[in-house]
Structure 1
Amino acid sequence: MTGRELIAIAKHVPYSVLKKRIKHHKGLPEVLPRLLFIRLRYKGVSVVKAADAVGVSGQTGYNWQERWNAEGFEGLVPRYAGGHPSKLTDEQKAELLELLREKDHWTTVEAQRLIQSHFGVAYSQDQVRRILKSFGMHYGKPSPRDYRRPADAETILKKNSRG
């Protein structure tokens, strides 16, 4: 496509103010490439070329410009959607925590099976790890057990060490 841009850039602030904002940027790091994109658009660079220069797709460039035109600097701040809602309700998570407290040590697979059997919800092992971490549980490497060790090894050691 040649010729003029279909959507013009709104010049909310003078170019000098935009440059200062870029030079002294201390906010979210995600905003800086967006400011650089707007600066290129102020200079007359096309949306696609300006987007390519900051490493994003042309469509993202059009999205950034549309938000800039509508809201100015505030439009460049990322809007995080918050993710997918949890499969377990807060009450179910509280119940899960109580079930997990019944035993001292859990593997991720054991916790995954408990969630599946008790709540009928299938989670990946990664998601189970995230849930366990949110409960304040931590990964611990199990200590090795020698299959030849007697069950009462501590008692035998105490008896033998008195002598």
Structure 2
Amino acid sequence: MSKDRRKEIVRHLSEEDLDRLLSEADDPKVVRRLTFVKNLYEGDTLEEAANRVGKSESTGSRWARRWNEGGLGQLTPNFGDGRPPKLGEDQQQQLLELLRDGQPWKPQEIQHLLNEEFGVEYHPVYLSEFLRNLGLSYAIPRSKRPSRPDNAEDILDERVDDALDEHQDEPHNKREGDDEKGWVGDDDVCTDGGTVIGFFDASHPQPYDNSRRMWYVDDPHIERPLVQIFEPAVGFYALNGESVVSFPEDQTKERICECLERIREQNPARRILLVLDNHFAHTCEYTRKRAHQLGIDFVFLPVGSPDLNPIEQVWKSLKWEASPLIVESAEDSSQAKSWE
């Protein structure tokens, strides 16, 4: 459902003067922008006014802001006759703000923006040099989940501190509403030999690449949904213990608990502090209770924050090393992987 975004527009010109300028204008870019302003004068929303001249709402928002700030001079910069001039210092700052608002950008998108906003066109080779001199960087965008809180690092710090607090009345993994039965450690589990801290995660192939480089000012992130595929590799990356990698049939709670049992076998006699994401098989009572029985306390990452789990970089390194290998089956692929 579209939003009714009516923009308060500064009337730098009367409707009569605006009509006169429209009748005298012969540059299509000037006509398009003046028509856009006239549409706003007549009560159109930003989306409606932009659609009438074949532009997006975001472009219309920029045009309306420029008009409100400086009238015709800001709305139609450098639209004179002859060869388009290069951008001056003030215009470069204006361009930088526009690029910051919509980053990251593909080169052809920047060419289009320069042509639409300033009437300037650069050769592709010179454009790269110009953008670098402007302070931009060119790199592959890093994914950013829309659900990630701004203070994700602080949230994780608080959760780790809480988990390290040994003076707790209730089991650390227990939540309000959980069944009271079963929250007892296994008889053969010993946790008085110190604490092992590690990171737990499952690796899944993604059905798209992330290899296209794009221009950005200071924010290289791009939002992409997480797409999961079955048959994961499940890893425990220990900071001060034994790391473990498993290849379960799936990522159900039963298979995850089997992975936890392997972690306990490789790290006996010590409490285990496990940092992991919010997959249902991890957060459900069944898994949390079994982890407690094994002497494993969970620290859940903030939602949408896989970047805070260093095992993500381990997976990336392993995939890079494995990419040249030629295997004939999934079993061969699992056997070919190493854990370092």
TMscore range, shorter length: 0.3 to 0.5
Which structure's residues are more often strand, by fraction? 2
Structure 2 length-normalised TM: 0.23
Structure 1 length-normalised TM: 0.47
Greater relative contact order (Cα 8 A, min sep 6): structure 1 or 2?
2
